[in-house]
Amino acid sequence: MEQKRIWKPWLYCVPALLLILIVIVFPIVYTGYISLTNMNLYHWTDYSFIGLSNYARALFKFDSGFLSALGTTLVWTVLNMVIQIGAGFFIALGLNAPGLRLKRVYKTLLMVPWAVPAYISILLWRVGMFNTEFGILNKFLSLLGLGKVDFLAGNAIAFLSCMALNLWMALPFMISTIDGALQSVDSSLYESATLDGAGFWVRTRFITVPAIRPIIAPAAVMTTFITFKQFDIIYLLTQQRGYMTGATLNTVITYAHQNAFASNNYGLSSAVSMLLFVVIILFSIMTNRSLREDQA
């Protein structure tokens, strides 16, 4: 009877575990296996075990270029997250302002950037917004009598352009999460605080923020990871073959792609992937630990 009690919960979990095994664990293990082989264009089917030499080569790739990419990634992640949470919070507060008309319409419209496939959004921004000949921004500048600006040419301006697009694409998720969290705050707390003479900033600091923090924390952590491993915006806006803009901006993922994945050497690419996986796991452990400390 006791034994039955032990295995039965596991049996119920088998479908979910199996799914996790196939979708998450197997690709990681297989990538780990490939990283120990010489699988490449010349050894597509007859690849063999070569130990850790791909890791030695991958670590060699983590040179000054990688460190610079890591620095860019950290700045990119911090700036994006601060603006996303800050702007998301105030926009959500605005959407919940008493007496605001058509708030459902605004909330629906704010979801549009999130609903559009990323590739389409990036293409639209590259051609429709940033293009030197046809982009809205340059049309606007020429109306003002100013010269054309290539928003994707230099590293600094390309960084800001990529960030603007990332915020446009990512803010709806943060707004909707914070908006949902705001609904859960007991309105009687605000009423009592108002009677006690608390103003907007005091109510926000001592009621709203502590009340919604546990709810938005997981969304913030998830978005931090998505922002950290951002690839498509920077790659498609500045680096795509045939559309290189002159910016040499790299995040760790675009750097790894540029240096390993374009070579058709799957052993080396897998070793780079495994090292990036370790970096992200370490980052995840650190974030979760600070989250737990916050909650404690």
Partner 1 sequence: MKKVTALLVAMALCLAALAGCAQSKPQDAPPANADQPAAPADTSSDPVTVTVWHDGDEGIMQTIADQVNAQLADDQITVVFEKKTDMPNQLKLYGSDAANAPDMYFYAHDVLGSFVAMDILAPLSDVTDTGILADHLPMTVEAGQIGGKQYLLPVYFETLVFLYNKALWEGDIPGTTEELYDYMVSHTDAAAGTYAVVNQHTNAYNVSPFINGFGGYIIDENAKPGLTDPKTIEAAAYNQKFGALQADGDYNTVTTLFNEGKAAAIIGGPWLVSGIEAAGIDYGIASLSDIKLPNGSGLAPFSGIQGAGVLKVALAEKKDAVAKVLTAMASPEVGVDLAVKSGCAPANNKSYDDPQVAAKEMISVIQKTASTAQPMPNIPEMGSMWGPVESMLTAINKNGADPAQAAADAQAAAEQAIADMQ
Examine residue 161 and tell whether it contacts partner 1 (CB under 8 A). Answer: no
Examine residue 244 and tell whether it contacts partner 1 (CB under 8 A). Answer: yes
DSSP tag of 235: I
In the complex with partner 1, which residue's Cβ is closer, 121 or 131? 131
In the complex with partner 1, which residue's Cβ is closer, 43 or 107? 43
Examine residue 158 and tell whether it contacts partner 1 (CB under 8 A). Answer: no
255: nearest Cα among 285, 234, 274 = 234
Amino acid at 278: V
Q: Which of 31, 96, 204, 258 binds partner 1 (CB under 8 A)?
A: 258
Q: Which of 6, 41, 120, 144 binds partner 1 (CB under 8 A)?
A: 41
Task: Single out the segment in contact with partner 1 by CB under 8 A; choices: 68-76, 79-87, 222-230, 238-246.
Answer: 238-246
- CB 127, min distance to partner 1, A: 6
The upper half-sphere exposure of residue 293, i.e. CA atoms within 13 Å in the direction of its Cβ, equals 6
Examine residue 268 and tell whether it contacts partner 1 (CB under 8 A). Answer: yes
120: nearest Cα among 243, 254, 232 = 232
In the complex with partner 1, which residue's Cβ is closer, 183 or 263? 263
Calculate the alpha carbon distances from 155 to 80, 118, 141, 144, 238 in Å. Answer: 17, 22, 21, 25, 10
Contacts of residue 209, Cβ cutoff 8 Å, sequence gap at least 6: none
DSSP tag of 174: H
How far is Cα 242 from Cα 247, in angstroms, rounded to an integer?
Answer: 14
By the criterion CB under 8 A, which residues form the site for partner 1?
11-12, 14-15, 18-19, 22, 40-42, 44-45, 57, 127, 131-134, 142, 147-148, 150, 153, 241-246, 258-260, 262-265, 268
